[in-house]
């Protein structure tokens, strides 16, 4: 760079545009989770009849699992948004990882109960390609919206930020798939949904630097 | 910074002038092996970053930790870039890249400057601006980005498209003349 620092300061100050402070990550996460949740609810209504979808919530273990997925969605989105604010994000990301662990623990507990109730049949794995395809398809639009929100922040940790964003989106889409389609065994959710969520997070981390980058950097 | 977020240019100038020496001190302390120019490049990189993400500053929080987080990030990125460059091996420019002579004649040169000027004038505005700033005035990508307000990626794309368009136009002109 050959530009003089004083000249750079002058250029940056010249024609300065207003840049109102971004809202707090926690509040922005509430806004995104609400909007994305409504969108996923519409997708679920399109895939399954409302009576059947609502009926599944009467099962307490199903409800607990989905609430854990929703908490993971919210905390992961809040963590991703926090990580784009300089000097913040560490605690929020730990909370998100804790929430995802709780969700994973609840699914594992379901697998254990299935095994205790039905033996090895309870852990018999069936293909669930509909959900493997459905999670990214359902999550595409909310994911795009979250990516736009993340790009308004500072790309300080692009890989973890993108991974947390993908975790948030995929958890919500997984919740939608669980409500829309019956899953006889929790092992199906553990393996197929878990693998899809993990795959989405790893993929997002790999392309994180392309999505979230300093626009002026060489 | 609060005033700068409301587009107060005077306050913003004062802020940047006040933080520049502080940033320079931190950069020089953490990159004590770096030369003066390299330190200045990093200082400018930090200032550009502060400018790019000024909306992320929360006025209810202290400014120092926010600035330090940006400095740390830009220093880490600078170190990564340095490590990448250190792994590269410099080679002399080679005049001949392929054995076939046909691939090595005339390359990017073009005989008629007047037609080149005409071709540049015929480009879309964004592409013409990218060519003028970077190829004719010799600005770096960063400088051109600051001058135009475009992102580096957008400038790269504009330059690439402009070069492709010029190549196409000039080859066509050349064919019609022969």
* Interchain CB contacts (distance < 8 Å): A and B: 125
Cβ neighbours of B66 in A, within 8 Å: 86-87
Is the Cβ pair B44, A3 closer than 8 Å?
A: yes
- Contact residues on chain A for B6, CB-CB shorter than 8 A: 18, 20
**Is the distance from CB of A147 to CB of A165 less than 8 angstroms?**
yes
pLDDT, position A175: 94
The pLDDT > 90 percentage for chain A reads: 57
Does residue A98 register a pLDDT over 80?
yes
Q: Is B21 helix (H, G, I), strand (E, B) or coil?
A: helix
Average pLDDT (A45-63) is 85
Measuring CA to CA, how many Å separate B124 from each of A58, B71, B129, B146, B158?
Answer: 61, 38, 9, 20, 9
ipTM over 0.90 threshold: no
Average pLDDT over residues A63-89: 94
Q: Which residue has the higher pLDDT, B81 or A179?
A: A179
Q: Which tokens in the block code for residue A201?
A: 């997070």
Contacts of A156 (CB under 8 A, 6+ apart): A83, A84, A86, A89, B69, B70, B73
Reported confidence tier of residue A96, pLDDT bands at 50, 70, 90? very high
A28 to chain B: which residues are within 8 Å by CB? none
Mutate to test the interface with B, among A9, A84, A85, A88 (most CBs of B within 10 A): A9
Cβ contacts of B47 on chain A, cutoff 8 Å = 5, 8-9, 12
CB B43 within 8 A of CB B70: no
Q: What is the pLDDT of residue A53?
A: 80
With CA atoms as reference, report the closest residue to A163 among A132, A191, A202, A124: A202
Report the first-to-last Cα separation within chain B, whole angstroms.
62
Conformational region of residue A87, where left means phi above 0, alpha means psi within -120 to 50, and beta covers everything else: left
**Cα A189 to Cα A44, A45, A106, B97, distances in angstroms:** 17, 20, 11, 56
Q: Do A8 and B53 touch (CB under 8 A)?
A: no
Supply the pLDDT for residue B81: 74
Q: Do A18 and B16 touch (CB under 8 A)?
A: no
Whether the Cβ atoms of residue A167 and residue A61 lie closer than 8 Å to each other = no
Shortest Cα distance, chain A CAs vs residue B176, angstroms: 40
Residues of B in contact with A214 (CB under 8 A): 48-49, 52, 77
CB pair distance less than 8 Å for A18 and B5: yes
CA distance linking residue A142 with residue B99, whole number of Å:
53
CB A193 within 8 A of CB A114: no
Q: What is the pLDDT of residue B39?
A: 85
* CB–CB contact A1 B41 (8 Å): yes
Q: Do A216 and B12 touch (CB under 8 A)?
A: no
Distance CA A188, CA A200 (A): 17
**CB contacts, 8 Å: B45 with chain A:** 1, 216-217
Q: Which residues of B117-142 are buried (b: 16+ CB within 10 A; e: fewer)?
A: eebbeebeebbbbbbebbeeeebebb
Nearest beta carbon to residue A218 from set B7, B65, B152 = B152
What count of other Cβ atoms lies within 10 Å of the Cβ of residue B64?
A: 11
Q: Once rounded to an integer, what is the mean pLDDT over residues A147-156?
A: 93
- Using left for φ > 0, alpha for ψ between -120 and 50, and beta otherwise, residue B107 falls in left
pLDDT in tens, B5-32: 877 888 889 999 999 999 998 888 887 7
The list of chain B residues with pLDDT below 50 reads 106-107
Q: How many CB atoms lie within 10 A of CB A89?
A: 25
pLDDT at A92: 92
Highest-scoring range by mean pLDDT, A69-78, A122-131, B75-84, B104-113? A69-78
Coil, strand or helix at A214? coil
What mean pLDDT is predicted for residues A178-191? 86
């Amino acid at each position: 760079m050959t530009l003089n620092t004083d000249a750079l300061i002058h250029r940056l100050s010249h024609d300065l545009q207003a840049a109102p402070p971004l809202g707090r990550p926690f509040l922005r996460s509430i806004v995104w989770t609400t909007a994305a949740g409504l969108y996923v609810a519409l997708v679920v209504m399109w895939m399954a009849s409302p009576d059947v979808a609502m009926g599944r919530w009467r099962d307490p273990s199903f409800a607990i699992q989905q609430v854990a997925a929703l908490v993971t969605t919210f905390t992961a989105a809040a963590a991703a948004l926090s990580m784009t604010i300089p000097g913040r994000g560490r605690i929020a990301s730990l909370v998100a990882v804790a929430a995802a662990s709780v969700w994973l623990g609840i699914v594992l507990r379901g697998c254990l109960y299935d095994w205790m109730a039905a033996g090895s049949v309870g852990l018999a794995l069936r293909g669930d390609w509909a959900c493997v395809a459905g999670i990214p398809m359902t999550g595409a639009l909310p994911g795009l919206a979250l990516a736009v929100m993340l790009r308004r922040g500072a790309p300080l940790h692009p890989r973890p930020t993108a991974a947390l964003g993908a975790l948030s989106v995929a958890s919500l889409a997984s919740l939608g798939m669980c409500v829309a389609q019956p899953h006889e065994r929790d092992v199906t959710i553990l393996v197929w949904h878990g693998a899809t969520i993990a795959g989405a997070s790893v993929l997002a981390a790999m392309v994180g630097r392309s999505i979230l980058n300093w626009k002026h950097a060489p | 910074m609060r005033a700068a977020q409301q587009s107060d240019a005077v306050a913003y100038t004062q802020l940047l002038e006040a933080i520049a020496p502080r940033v320079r001190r931190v950069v020089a302390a953490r990159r004590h092996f770096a030369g003066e120019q390299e330190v200045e490049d990093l200082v400018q990189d930090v200032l550009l970053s502060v400018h790019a993400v000024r909306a992320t500053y929360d006025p209810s929080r202290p400014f120092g930790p926010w600035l330090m987080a940006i400095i740390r990030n830009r220093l880490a990125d600078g170190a990564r870039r340095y490590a990448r460059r250190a792994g590269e091996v410099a080679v002399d420019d080679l005049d001949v890249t392929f054995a076939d002579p046909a691939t090595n004649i005339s390359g990017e040169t073009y005989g008629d400057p007047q037609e080149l000027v005409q071709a540049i004038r015929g480009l879309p505005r964004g592409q013409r601006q990218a060519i003028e700033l970077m190829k004719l005035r010799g600005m770096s990508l960063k400088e051109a980005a600051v001058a135009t307000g475009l992102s580096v990626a957008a400038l790269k794309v504009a330059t690439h498209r402009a070069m492709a368009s010029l190549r196409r136009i000039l080859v066509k002109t050349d064919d019609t003349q022969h």
